[in-house]
Structure 1
Amino acid sequence: MTLIASPSQTSNHKQEKILQGAMQVFFRDGYAGTSMDRVAIEAGVSKQTIYSYFHDKEGLFKALIEQITISRFQTLFDSEELTGDPEGLLRQVAEAYLLKVSDDHQYLSLLRVVIAESSRFPEMAKLYYHTVIQRGRQLLGKYFDDRPELGIQDSEATAQIFFGTLVSFVVSQELMYGKEIMPLSSQKLVDSLVYLILRNKSI
């Protein structure tokens, strides 16, 4: 018996083909250098097919950001709140983030494009910030607010420091050749970061 793909399966397959093709072009040519014609050739579909799924280039890149980032951090940020003992939770979040991105060439390529094009296309950078940093900061800030025994005076700023440090580490070590010039182990970073945040914890 021959199985016939349903319309929804065919649609999902075409959308995935477009996103995979777009990924190759965006990462190779940058945002400004990417055209729908080039994406169509790379994806093996017509340009009209791309427009039927994605309104324009910005919509296509937005979908790509969401696919690459959300799939990687869904297990971290999918719940309504963070739970667990402070030291264990902070280590888990930091180590999970660094493990997911440090050797992830797709994610690092996306981050490189976002940084390179952020001045010309600020909405693109804002989307990345919202998808990765803002969600994590909100959850961690709420976690700090619910635990006054930690002695954290400004939960929002501390959560920003936490996630900002992780992103900065990835950028400096992975994108700016810090691993070659002045390497720093991720474990040392996590140890120091957790210590700095929890050092005022009440006993």
Structure 2
Amino acid sequence: MDSSDNNHRHSQRLPEKAEVILDGAMREFLEFGYAATSMDRVAAIAGVSKATVYRHFQNKEALFTALIQQLAQTQFQPVFNLKQAEQLQSEPRLVLQTLASKMLDNIMENEQMLTFMRLLIGESGRFPELAHIFIRSLEKPGIEAVSQYLAAQSKLQLADPEVSARIFIGTLVHFVLLQKVLHGQESLPMERDRLVNGLLDLICLRSGDRLNPTGI
């Protein structure tokens, strides 16, 4: 579909009116789900006309796409900006540890983000394109950034940096899903620091960093 292309112009700072519409759309999506949300309802809760909504967003999918792009910009793009870490020549374990901590903080301490993830899981069966948008906007850029960083760290001696990046991101995402999104803290608890340190041991095993964990 072309809604993602149509909303590329929203990838930077959105106009104030569009921000108001997105705020209303987020509340509607989280309360009623994707299928039950209409452009009429979004216009009403945002306090604007339906014509104004359509002037900024072509359709409901475009609205949802813009919300995901907004989450990517505010919650994840700063986390996965590894250029500064490379310039500072920090130890890989410390860089990955900081990355894991920020990523988990941004998701696990954000109830709106957790609710949005539950919505996405629930609606992805009927609307698979929503999941595709989420993966393209959030998960794929994160995996690519970590993969490129790991590939540049020769001391880690990783056979396949992309696989290691997927293990890194996948483990953290699974932890969030199991512990917070699916409310598994009581039935299958796991300490966050223990999981992260174990994950770092696996990735940094050959470099010797494993012998000097700094903790979180």
- After TM superposition, the score normalised by the length of structure 2 is 0.83
Deviation at 1:138? 1.0
SS at match of 1:76: coil
Q: Which ranges in structure 1 are unaligned for 5 or more consecutive residues?
A: 1-10
Give the structure 1 partner of residue 171 of structure 2.
Answer: 165
Q: Which ranges in structure 2 are unaligned for 5 or more consecutive residues?
A: 1-13, 210-216
Q: Give, in whole Å, the separation in 2 of the partners of 1:79 and 1:192.
A: 22
Deviation at 1:202? 6.0
Deviation at 1:154? 1.0
The answer to whether the Cα contact below 8 Å between 1:80 and 1:139 also exists between their aligned partners in 2 is no
Deviation at 1:79? 5.4
Give the direction of change, closer, same or farther, for the CA distance of 1:147–1:78 in structure 2 (3 Å limit): closer
2:148 partner letter: K
Give the structure 2 partner of residue 8 of structure 1.
Answer: none
Deviation at 1:68? 2.0
SS at match of 1:30: helix
- Which deviates more from structure 2 when the two are superposed, residues 180-189 or residues 51-60? 180-189
Give the direction of change, closer, same or farther, for the CA distance of 1:130–1:81 in structure 2 (3 Å limit): farther
Give the structure 2 partner of residue 104 of structure 1.
Answer: 110
The answer to whether the Cα contact below 8 Å between 2:118 and 2:181 also exists between their aligned partners in 1 is yes
Give the structure 2 partner of residue 200 of structure 1.
Answer: 206
Matched, 1:132 2:138: yes
The answer to whether the Cα contact below 8 Å between 2:82 and 2:149 also exists between their aligned partners in 1 is no
Question: Aligned to 1:38, which of 17, 38, 41?
Answer: 41
Question: Aligned to 1:86, which of 89, 92, 95?
Answer: 92
Matched, 1:117 2:120: no
Deviation at 1:74? 2.5
Give the structure 2 partner of residue 5 of structure 1.
Answer: none
Deviation at 1:140? 1.4
The answer to whether the Cα contact below 8 Å between 1:65 and 1:110 also exists between their aligned partners in 2 is no
Q: Give, in whole Å, the separation in 2 of the partners of 1:50 and 1:145.
A: 44
Matched, 1:58 2:64: no
Give the structure 2 partner of residue 3 of structure 1.
Answer: none
Give the structure 1 partner of residue 151 of structure 2.
Answer: 145
Q: Give, in whole Å, the separation in 2 of the partners of 1:159 and 1:100.
A: 19
Aligned residues: 193
SS at match of 1:49: helix
The answer to whether the Cα contact below 8 Å between 2:100 and 2:196 also exists between their aligned partners in 1 is yes
- After TM superposition, the score normalised by the length of structure 1 is 0.88
The answer to whether the Cα contact below 8 Å between 2:80 and 2:99 also exists between their aligned partners in 1 is no
Pairing of 1:14-29 with structure 2 (within 5 A): 14-29=17-32
Deviation at 1:168? 0.8
Give the superposed CA RMSD. 1.8
Give the direction of change, closer, same or farther, for the CA distance of 1:166–1:71 in structure 2 (3 Å limit): same
Q: Give, in whole Å, the separation in 2 of the partners of 1:76 and 1:111.
A: 18
